Amino acid sequence: MECINGLYKTECIRTTIFHAGPYKTISDVEYATAGWVDWYNNRRLHSSLDYTTPSEYESAHHAALNRELQPA
């Protein structure tokens, strides 16, 4: 859990990638956090997934399972 917290602070809170300018309200933090979570879960390239996104990897995994379950 500490690893994710560190990534969140580094990638979302301490940069302006997911928000413009300083945070002024809790809503600003919530909006930036939602953007980071979406990116982290769906669009980031991950080295242990052969540099594909988690969504692409999951789709390929389910497609492979469905091909195996098809009758010959």
| pTM listed for this prediction | 0.72
Residue 32: Cβ within 10 Å count: 20
**Per-residue pLDDT tens for 40-67?**
988 899 888 999 998 899 999 999 888 8
Q: Quote the domain boundaries for residue 49.
A: 2-69
Q: Quick one: pLDDT at residue 52? A: 92
The residue that leads in pLDDT, 70 or 31, is 31
**Per-residue pLDDT tens for 5-39?**
999 999 999 999 999 889 999 999 999 999 999 99
Q: How many domains does the chain have?
A: 1
Residues facing 46 on adjacent strands: 52
